Chain A
Amino acid sequence: MQPPVITLAECSKRFGERLALRKATLSVAAGETVVVLGPNGAGKSTMLRLIAGLLRPTAGSARIGEVEAISAPKQVRAGIAYAGHQPQLYRGLTARENLELHLRLHQMAADTSALLERVGLGDRADERIDGFSRGMLQRLALARATAHEPVLLLLDEPASGLDADGRALLDDTLRAGIGQRTQVVASHDHELAARLGVREVRLENGGIA
């Protein structure tokens, strides 16, 4: 049996006085997609950042495969994509330049025009993104997150700011990834797990309900 791709074991994270995540335990298998639901402040973003290795647990552990997420080596990081609340894009660069930088840092070559076309930004490829709307930035963030074909995709409220077409594109992207890569999506969309036919996990007050 394959070991889980993600293992949270009694994982807690405290920011000063506030306990953002409380003894969360979760296991996600290779190829599995999980939707994490919960109200604002429930700890969804903290959980995703712990899994991505962007935060160090205060207690417990967050592991990617066999390694602690916080100290994941380059080879492991190469397979992770995380799109958070912020687009993680340089505002003064064009959409294409942002993707080119991302691919360069991943030592990959890909057709940026095709990637941008896929998210509906083909005709805005060479515009600086500081003029982009929230929805356009989300589309570009999705293109960036999937550009290097990650084996683990972490999306934090990816539908916020997206129009109906954008949400359909997001659903299609997630559907295409089911069974192909491990996906964890933090969302307020209570229908998402049912639409995709995947497991959902509920977070409340920093703990898994």
Chain B
Amino acid sequence: MIGAALAIARVKLVLEIRRREVIFAMLLFIAATIVIVHFALSGDTGAGNRAAAGMLWAAVVFTAVLGLLRTFSAEHEGGVLDALLLAPIDRAAIWLGTALAQFGFLIVIEVVAVPIWWVLFFQSEGPSIGTVVIALLLADVGIALVGTLSAALALGARTRDVLLPVLVLPLLIPVVLGGVTATYGAFGEEVGGLRPLGFLALYDLVFIALAWGTSEHLLSD
């Protein structure tokens, strides 16, 4: 199961390194979003910590959706999904391998985006970077899990490019809430200690269980 998932994730990462179809577009999108919002606020770094935190999480979620639109494109274009479905592996491995690759893509874009966000919004003191990184990692797990699950749901639909954001964005609202609260707390504001991080971890666990239980049926006819 884990071996098959890692093999699928590895293939998707190799394809992305060779084709640069997803990450490059995601990087441009998130960087442009952060810069545009910065100028929309007239470069006013005093817009407030909560606004800065919200800006980061909105950019991350919308960028993730952009990447999720291509989730199963490599499998779809060559009919590869048939081969994966017929392989003697747990079908959850297909979902897990794909989610692992999505997680990797998100990490790459955040490595670039977070420093840009930091430089543009905090000229002096910013939030605790450790808390922001942990929140992002937990959120990335949730986004990858939920996004891949939603992409599998939308797979058979002719209008999947429209359907996927409609499916996935409401499901990601808790991630945004948890992420914003955790990031705001990282400025030293009192928002419940580690509770937002715990909330993000719980969200991940719920969707791991849900996806594990449904992937066999989701990926079948």
Contact = CB atoms under 8 A, between A and B. Distances in A.
Interface residues of A, number: 32
Given A56-B221, A74-B88, A88 B15 contact: no
A207 interface: no
Interface stretch (A34-42, A100-108, A162-170): A100-108
A31 interface: no
Contacts of A53: 85-86
Give the residue among B14, B77, B88, B220 with the most A Cβ atoms within 10 A. Answer: B88
Contacts of B79: 84-88
Contacts of A107: 88
A101 B78 CA distance: 15
A144 B85 contact: no
A190 interface: no
B219 to A, nearest CB: 11
A48 B11 CA distance: 28
Contact of A52 (B18, B74, B86): B86
Give the residue among A87, A91, A92 with the most B Cβ atoms within 10 A. Answer: A92
B89 A74 contact: yes
A178 interface: no
B86 to A, nearest CB: 5
Interface string A79-102: 011101111111111000100011
A75 interface: yes
A92 B18 contact: yes
A29 interface: no
Interface string A51-80: 011111000000000000010001101101
Interface in B48-98: 74, 77-80, 82-90
Give the residue among A74, A81, A86, A87 with the most B Cβ atoms within 10 A. Answer: A86
A29 B217 CA distance: 30
Contacts of B18: 92, 128
A88 B83 contact: yes
Given A90-B74, A90-B78, A91-B77, A54 B11 contact: no
Interface string B145-174: 000000000000000000000000000000
16 contacts: A52-B82, A54-B85, A75-B88, A77-B87, A77-B88, A82-B82, A84-B79, A86-B82, A89-B78, A89-B80, A92-B18, A93-B14, A97-B14, A102-B87, A104-B4, A104-B7
B78 A84 contact: no
A207 B83 CA distance: 27
